[in-house]
Each structure stands twice: as C-alpha cells, then as structure tokens.
Structure 1
C-alpha cells in the first residue's frame, strides 16, 4: 500500500469541497463537460465522508461507520470512471487511500455484523454467550482504532487536496468534452465487467466465495455509476438500479457470514474456550452454505 503521508504530504484544508448544494440556476448535468461534472458528483460524497468522519469522535453508531465506508467506496468508483483522464498514477494514489480509509471504518461495522450473527446463534446455543460478549469487546477496540486512525481534519484535508488535483487535471485535458458519451461508455464497461464476473462465477455448479465476492464488487461499481450518471445517460435505469440492489442484498447476506467467519477465525479470544469458538464456526459454516446457494442462483440470472 502506498504511504500517502510520506509520498504526498497533506496540506491544510482549503475548503474547496465544503458542504454545498448546486445553485438552482446552475446548468443541468447533461449540459456540462466531463471536467465540470466531476466536481458536482464528487462534492456531495466528500461532504458526506467529512460529516461522518467528524461524527466518529463522539458517535460510534454502526450506521455512521457503514455510511463512511460507503462514501469511500463511491469515491473509488468515481475515480475508476474518470481514470482515463486522471491517469494511472493519480488514480492509484487516491483509490489506495480511499480503500485504506474504508477498511479502517469497516472494522467496527464488521464486528457489528459478527456480533449480530453470534446473537442469532446464541438463541439455540446458550454457550455462545461468552463469545457474544467477547465480540462486543472486539467491537469497542475497533471503534477506538477507527477514532485514532480517522481524524476529521486529516480526512477533509486529504479529500480537498486529492479532488482539487483531479479537477485541475480534468480541466486541462477534457474541459470542453461533453459528458454523455463518456458516461455511457464507462457504464457499458462496468456492465461488461459485471457480466464477465457473473459468468466466471457460474462456470461451475458450486460457486466459490472469491468469485461471488468479485461479482458483488462489480455490481456495486455499476450501481454507483448508474446513480452518478443517471441524469445524463440515455434511457431510464431505475429498474436496473433496483435489480442490482436486490442482487447486492442477496450477495451481502452471504458476504456478511463469510466475512464474519474469517473475522472470528483470525481473532484471538483469550477468555473464550476453543470449543465455543469452534462451535460458532460450525454454525456459521452451515449458514454460509445456505446463503451461498441463494447467492449463486442470483448470480446465474445475471450471467444468463
């Protein structure tokens, strides 16, 4: 992973992307260029990320961590869309940091999900209570880690700087290029990537976890791009977004269990008997197999 602090010192906030709304008399997106549309799409996502980062110091609500992670994922998708004009190096620098910040924010969310699953297991296995308590402690540690690693001023400074650099690059290379053809091309590429991933995951009767995870990521990218570019691309895409959301929900249920199983396997629980941990893993494995079959069926519909 690139060391952003070493290779790209962060300046003080310049407030270029402060929370704001598009003026009522501003041009509609379909009249804008590739360069001007970038800032209008990025600004609300940046504002959301900064707001959520600010709230972390006083609020450890699960939804806050989740929405912060989503904001960074959306920025990664947006950078992928504009990467032909931003360049490989600039895109890699930004997206690696988006990915790191999303992972830090996601640690708390992951323990929230694992804790909820263990509580469900506890309903039929009273011995699981000690592991539920241990997961709650792990969640508290994840909150402390996130609060230490994600400082609002640093996040705002980084986002202001990296997006201003992107804006300047776009204005110098494609300020007069219309947005529609570009947006439609990037969406088509994301659609082809999702179809390819889905067909690959469906090649065997038994799906693999990694392949389903790749389909989930490709589906998220496409959904985010459709949400970003819907005002400027031809045809209504509400139905496609709705279908993608449904598929994502099904894949998400499977991913939650698979990720929780990995999380518990990799964690150390000093005060939890090994047999209790093993019992939880056996329960999660059964749930995972059931969810995997349901997820694989949805993926086959995409592949077809």
Structure 2
C-alpha cells in the first residue's frame, strides 16, 4: 500500500474517510494563530491564518460533490469572512512597502500609515477573537465528517483527486483564455486567473502523490504565474486601499503623487502578467 508523502495517507483509501486528514491540520494551524494574536502583533500571524483558511475553502470546493451544497456554501462564506478579517493588516503592510519606493509619498505619510496599520491590526484581532473562530472551525469539521462518513457510497481517493484537479485545471484554462482576450484595463479577468491558479496550486499540494505525471507537468509553470498575478493584485488592492484613506496624506498633491506612482506600477505589472497568458 503506497502512502501519501506528506500525510502518510494510503492511496487506495476513499475520499470521504480522508477529508479530516486534510482539514484537521489546517484548522489546528488557524486556531494556533488565533491564540498567538494575544501576544504577537506581527501581521505574519494573521497571514498564516489567512492561508490556512484559504486552503480550507479550496478543500471544501474539492469535496463539494460529496457534501450538502448549502453546508458547503455556508462554511466557505464563513471561512472567507475570517480570512478577510485576517488579511486587512497585511494589505496595509503591502501598501507601505509599495510606497517605500516613492520617498516623497512615504515620508509625508509615514506616521499616518503606521497608525492606520496599527488600528487595523487591533480591529482584525477583535473581530477574530469575538467570532469564536476555534469553535466555528471545529464544528465545521465535525459536521463535514458526519456528512461524509454516513454517506452510502464510497469514492476512491485517487480517482476523486484526479477528477477534482481536472475540473480546476479546466476552470483555469477558461479564465486564462478570457483574460488573454480582455482589455488591459479589465483587471477583473486577471483577478479570476489569480484565484483559479491559487485553487489549482492548493489542490496539487493536497493530492500530488496521487496525480498522473501528465497533470503535474501541465501545472509546472503555476508558481511563476501565481507570483506575477499576485504582485499585480497587491498593487491594485493598494490603490483601492489608498483611495479609501486619502486622509493619510497632508494634501491632495501628495496623495495624487502616490496614486500616480501606484498606477505606473500597476501598468508595469499588468504587462508582466499578460505575457504569461
């Protein structure tokens, strides 16, 4: 019996029985991050929690054919809410990093940017702590396991993994074609490629030992694509964040210079991302 290199899972098991083997470590990591927030103000803690929640959403998408649709939608919406709350501080860190390349903009807004970042971190921490993330995640795992393990049919894990990854690959290909024919100003189509690529990457990490060589080969360039599209998303999100908080600058001229700098960087990153399509 061959075993999963990452989790020690048998390849000839069934998908229903192995859901918790994929989900439990992600939930444990998210819960440990919540606990760490009480003593650590580093946005990296929030980012790690956010990544675990994103992986959980992808796992639920993978198992959607085997789960109740309403339950799946409710849980993925909950995980998205938690992830968004966790990601707001990192958004400020990214904006501050981008403005570091524009000395004039950075110097005039440094204190206000740091204050906004600190305020956002506290708000994120309060939201996460009051939401009782630990209980919500544990209950979601319990309910998913109950539903999966009481199902009458059993689905072979290797077959299930290849089929779901195949569906994600097709979705990725469609979105890439759509983005390739879209106008350069149409960021939404690029954003869809980024999300599809992230889903494909996470599924590959879950199921890699059970995948055919052909499937693995077809996603070889995924990391490069994700990197470029992620960099594009960073600057687009930073532009929006800055527009929503123009008061961090002392005057309109300073905010305009910062927005111009971000716009130029967005166009450069848009061209770089488009080359991969």
Q: Could you say whether these structures have the same fold, taking a TM-score greater than 0.5 normalized by the shorter chain as the test?
A: yes
User: C-alpha distance in 2, partners of 1:50/1:129?
Assistant: 37
Matches within 5 A, 1:46-65: 46-65=27-46
Once the 2 structures are TM-superposed, how far is the Cα of residue 129 of structure 1 from its aligned partner? Answer: 1.1
Structure 2 CA distance for partners of 1:240 and 1:29, relative to 1, 3 Å: farther
1:129 aligned onto 2:107:
yes
1:101–1:150 CA contact under 8 A, matched in 2? yes
Distance 1:175 1:146, change over 3 A: farther
- Tell me the equivalent position of 2:63: 82
1:42 to 18, 23, 43: 23
- Report how far residue 136 of structure 1 moved: 1.2
Alpha-carbon distance, 1:91 to partner: 0.5
> Where does residue 8 of structure 1 map in the other structure?
none
Q: Which residue does the alignment assign to 1:195?
A: 173
1:245 to 220, 223, 231: 223
Who is 1:262 aligned against?
240
Matched, 1:184 2:162: yes
Equivalent residue in structure 1 for 2:9, among 3, 28, 45: 28
- TM-superposed deviation, 1:98: 0.5
RMSD over equivalenced CA pairs, Å: 2.2
Query: Distance between the aligned counterparts of 1:271 and 1:284, measured in 2?
Result: 15
Alignment coverage as a number of residue pairs: 273
Tell me the equivalent position of 2:207.
Answer: 229
Q: How does 1:100-111 map to 2 (within 5 A)?
A: 100-111=81-92
CA positional deviation for 1:274: 1.8
* TM-score for both structures, normalised by structure 2: 0.92
Q: What corresponds to 2:101 in structure 1?
A: 120
- Superimposed CA distance per residue, residues 253-299 of structure 1 (whole angstroms, 9 cap, x where no aligned partner): 1111111001000124166212111110011000110110001111x
Q: Tell me how far apart the structure 2 counterparts of residues 83 and 35 of structure 1 sit (CA, whole Å).
A: 11
Given the alignment of the two structures, is residue 274 of structure 1 paired with residue 246 of structure 2, yes or no? no
Consecutive unaligned residues in structure 2, runs of 5 or more: none
Q: How far has the Cα of 1:130 moved from its partner?
A: 2.2
